[in-house]
Chains A and B, each alone.
Chain A
Amino acid sequence: MFASIIASGLAAGAIYALVGVTYNTMFSTSRVMSFTAGQLAMLGGVFGSLFTLKLGMPVLAGFVLTLIGCAIIGIITEFVAVRPVLKSLDQHLYVLSTLALALMIQQVAAIKWGTEPQPFPRLIGLGNGVWDEKFWLPVLACAVTIIALEYLYRRTLVGRAFIAIAEDNFAARALGLPERGLRIASYALAGMVGGIAGYSGGELLLAFFANGALLNFYGFVPVALGGLGSNRGAVIGGLALGLFQQAANFLVGGIFSSVAVFALFIVVLLAKPQGLFGFSTARRV
């Protein structure tokens, strides 16, 4: 049982971490926390199942199309729900606009895809028991994504531009960085990260429209606890959350695990609103 707690905990944790990274990627260039993060992961599962099982495409083609689909949804988020409200960031209209878009995505998925969980294709067919691919695929996907993002941010010009925008928007614009273009690119990137989360976790979570709301919350918990904008915090927080949740699941049952996660979330945030690895922000007066 211990082994299966570890396996399923790490797998779920890796998915949460990737959703957390999705939040962070969108936040970095726009200062917006978007409700669509969880929906992107849900779509990763639904698109994967749609292209590979329903339409019978090869796994690789299905994967690429899933990523493209999610990137497009990410870009739509930027155009529809983020850009129009950026000017009034203080009024927090983005909470409402992204919530509206997330609900629209969820509702379309529920009606067009169906409200029942549907099977996700077996991608490689490797491993069984606790070494089944459905457990290690998300972990591998998470590791690869993080390494790729680190490479992007540290070694490439575009990545450095992302960081510049995230650190100081005004200074970056003064340097002539194309802020708008970079923001669109970061939303496309966030869409792909979310898509990877859903796709790699598809065998575990299935292609189910209600995953969006669930992952929205469980992906947000590591971000909130780890500190906004910190990918390291999201990964550590995500894995810890997954392990904690699965352990509670096996030992005392699912309800208590969700109550425990929620209580932990509230208590930590009340004690340290900026998260465990975050920095306190902003003068008020």
Chain B
Amino acid sequence: MTAVAATVARNETTEWRAILLRLVPFALIAAAAMILPFVSNDYWALIGTRAAIYWVLVSGLNLIVGFAGHLAIGYVALLTLGAYTTSVLVAGNVMPEVPVFAALPIAGLVGAIFGVVVGLPALRLRTFYFAMSTRGFATIVAQIALAWQSVTGGGIGIAGPEFPAPFNTAWGFYYLCVAFAALCTWLSANVAHSRFGRALIAIRDAEVAAEATGISKPRMLIAIFLFAGALAAVAGGLFATLQTYITPDAFTFDLSVLFFIAILIGGRGSILGPMLGTIILTILPEVAAPLAAWSTFLYAVLLLVIVLAMPGGIAALLDFRNRRPLASNRAIVPRPAALADIVRKSAGEKSLSLRGLTLSFGNVRAIDNLDLDVKPGEIHGLIGPNGSGKTTTLNVISGYYVARAGTITLGEDVLAQGLPALRARHGIGRTFQTPRVIGEASVLQNVMIGGTIEGQATFIEALLALPRNRRDERMLTDKARALLGVVGLEALAEVRADRLQHSELRFIEIARALMLDPDFLLLDEPAAGLSNQEIERLAALIIAISRRGTGLLLVEHHADLIFDICDSVTVLNLGRILAAGTPAEIRTHKEVVSAYLGG
């Protein structure tokens, strides 16, 4: 225990240093923004203000595009909406005049609602479809702005809101927008570095694994669509003031392209990158005046270059840490003994039982009338030839497939079929045949994803970095580090997961599943691709996990591993049980030997 405490303390100081180091670029940008008024003229005030306003929108959109990976290309629609809402409220041509500082929050509210309306299709539609639907929405908002003359002034337009002193001068308004931009940076960074931000990346890069850890995609996405919609509409209100007079022409699709490309140039899953991207794209047409007409063309070329040549964007260029070579002769040395200090012992005496489970794909019976029991603290092996229904069984237990007949019970409770995102709450964790790991996140973050549902703080608390969120973060970080120690990967905690070897990914998946303190753990071919030495270490780890009271269901092809560590074994063939019993019985079972083991 003391050893673990000591490593935690040491890690905290290095973490603080890392956080400070990460803040340096933001501090530099903030300093530059503060100095700008003293070294330039009103023309630059305009450009600076524009960049700050764009960033207010982009900081929210970044969570959708950069973190959740949804290609929302029509966000100018929400800027338009916010601009008109604020202007109309302040002008008072529909209802009594509203002061501008009250109109902005109202616009934010309207933006949040429409943010969800635009975003909802993302829950079901894939990439290109979603991109198209946001673009269609942008077209429609522009048409409505043009046609609804009594409110928006149609093609003639409407005056933008005016801010009271001291914000009614060019530099006064500039400082206001920079303050907004700083606030939005803080808010979006809070989300990004909370369990919500990690969950978004998990949905983007490893949706299936995210579900298995209990992350609810709809709730996550709706939260960020509300947030991004609100920011976009507030940006719209500020934009209307900057323009002083708005017509539908001010909101061309080119703006959407700018926002979108700023994020991609910046790099996915980063805050600093898109911020630099926004600043660069805002300034670019100004410093290259002859190119102003070609600015959209330039953005498009940049987008193409980014996609083809450096998909990681600016963030990847600045990521010096991950360019250091890793030790090539590193070995995974798990320390299963440390498990006792971290994972709380499973209390339950409940068994996981399958009764009469049947599932067909077309005319093929993948599983046929399967009965199986996994008891707490027991290692249950599930073996059989390829295509005998082993992984399918795991997928039915995890809720990815709905069985045509039969039940899954946990103690007395019948588990609803389907609904994979609810399995984690029942204490069922799993790993996958092909490791489903988020390549762009660090090893530590990957493991922390496993504990997402253990967090207590709400989205609002995470947004404002309130104490409960900080407590969650500390708890998840400490537990993830400790579990990395258990599986023997703590030296690689800060490394991007896609730089690791295949065998290391398998151990990351186990650590991620252990974050849940699972009562039952389903392992899908954990030994595939491991060296003999690693398999021995894996075996020790699996035994240690079972000693904690966790029931394990182990799908494996390495017969030696199964017979060494399992308490009971079920053999499948063509979806049916060929034999079940202790390893000793199975080893000598005639049909098993002839059908599967050979001999």
The interface residues of chain A lying within 8 Å CB-to-CB of B131 are 95, 99
Q: Are B136 and A262 in contact (CB under 8 A)?
A: yes
Does B186 sit at the interface, judged by CB under 8 A? no
CA distance A119 to B294 in the complex (A): 25
Does A1 sit at the interface, judged by CB under 8 A? no
Does A213 sit at the interface, judged by CB under 8 A? yes
The interface residues of chain B lying within 8 Å CB-to-CB of A100 are 300-301, 303-304, 307
Q: Are A217 and B304 in contact (CB under 8 A)?
A: no
Does B76 sit at the interface, judged by CB under 8 A? no
The interface residues of chain A lying within 8 Å CB-to-CB of B264 are 96
Q: A36-52: contact bitstring with B at CB < 8 Å (1 yes, 0 no)? A: 00000000000000000
Given A95-B71, A97-B308, A258-B143, the answer on whether A103 and B299 have CB atoms closer than 8 Å is yes
Q: Are A101 and B304 in contact (CB under 8 A)?
A: yes
Q: A216-234: contact bitstring with B at CB < 8 Å (1 yes, 0 no)? A: 1100100010000000000
CA distance A95 to B124 in the complex (A): 17
B395, closest chain A residue (CB): A285
Does B73 sit at the interface, judged by CB under 8 A? yes
Does A269 sit at the interface, judged by CB under 8 A? yes
A111, closest chain B residue (CB): B293
Q: Are A93 and B121 in contact (CB under 8 A)?
A: no
Does B251 sit at the interface, judged by CB under 8 A? no
Instruction: Pick the residue among A91, A97, A108, A269 that contacts B124 (CB under 8 A).
Output: A269
Shortest C-beta distance, B395 to chain A (Å), equals 5
Does B257 sit at the interface, judged by CB under 8 A? yes
Instruction: Pick the residue among A84, A101, A224, A265 that contacts B300 (CB under 8 A).
Output: A101
Q: Are A270 and B127 in contact (CB under 8 A)?
A: no
Q: Output the residue of B71, B128, B401 with the most chain A CB within 10 A.
A: B128
Q: Are B303 and A262 in contact (CB under 8 A)?
A: no
Shortest C-beta distance, B14 to chain A (Å), equals 33
The interface residues of chain B lying within 8 Å CB-to-CB of A253 are 147
Q: Are A97 and B294 in contact (CB under 8 A)?
A: no
Q: Which residues of A contact B (CB under 8 A)?
A: 33, 80-81, 84-85, 91-93, 95-97, 99-101, 103-104, 107-108, 111, 213-214, 216-217, 220, 224, 253-255, 258-259, 262, 265-266, 269-270, 273, 284-285
Q: Are B304 and A262 in contact (CB under 8 A)?
A: no
* Contacting residues of chain B (215-233) with chain A, CB-CB under 8 angstroms: none
The 5 closest A-B pairs by CB, nearest first: A103-B300, A100-B304, A107-B297, A100-B303, A92-B127
CA distance A80 to B293 in the complex (A): 23
Q: Are A273 and B125 in contact (CB under 8 A)?
A: yes
The interface residues of chain A lying within 8 Å CB-to-CB of B303 are 96-97, 99-100, 103
Does B144 sit at the interface, judged by CB under 8 A? yes
Chain A interface helix/strand/loop/mixed: helix
The interface residues of chain B lying within 8 Å CB-to-CB of A96 are 71, 264, 303, 307
A88, closest chain B residue (CB): B311
Shortest C-beta distance, A280 to chain B (Å), equals 12
Q: Are B127 and A255 in contact (CB under 8 A)?
A: no
Shortest C-beta distance, A62 to chain B (Å), equals 27
Does B296 sit at the interface, judged by CB under 8 A? yes
Shortest C-beta distance, B152 to chain A (Å), equals 12
CA distance A58 to B554 in the complex (A): 75
* Contacting residues of chain B (53-84) with chain A, CB-CB under 8 angstroms: 71, 73
Q: Are B136 and A103 in contact (CB under 8 A)?
A: no
A255, closest chain B residue (CB): B147
Shortest C-beta distance, B254 to chain A (Å), equals 9
Does B326 sit at the interface, judged by CB under 8 A? no
Shortest C-beta distance, A106 to chain B (Å), equals 8
Does B563 sit at the interface, judged by CB under 8 A? no
Q: Are A104 and B297 in contact (CB under 8 A)?
A: yes
Given A99-B73, A103-B299, the answer on whether A266 and B121 have CB atoms closer than 8 Å is yes
The interface residues of chain A lying within 8 Å CB-to-CB of B144 are 255, 259
Does B163 sit at the interface, judged by CB under 8 A? no
Does B475 sit at the interface, judged by CB under 8 A? no
Does B595 sit at the interface, judged by CB under 8 A? no
B299, closest chain A residue (CB): A103
Q: Are A265 and B71 in contact (CB under 8 A)?
A: no
* Contacting residues of chain B (121-137) with chain A, CB-CB under 8 angstroms: 121, 124-129, 131-133, 135-137
Does B139 sit at the interface, judged by CB under 8 A? yes
A92, closest chain B residue (CB): B127
CA distance A32 to B499 in the complex (A): 29
Q: Are A269 and B125 in contact (CB under 8 A)?
A: yes
Shortest C-beta distance, B553 to chain A (Å), equals 16
Does B253 sit at the interface, judged by CB under 8 A? yes
A256, closest chain B residue (CB): B147
- Beyond contacts A93-B311, A103-B296, A111-B294: 12 other A-B pairs, Cβ-Cβ < 8 A, are A85-B308, A95-B128, A96-B71, A96-B264, A97-B304, A103-B299, A253-B147, A255-B147, A255-B148, A258-B140, A269-B125, A284-B208
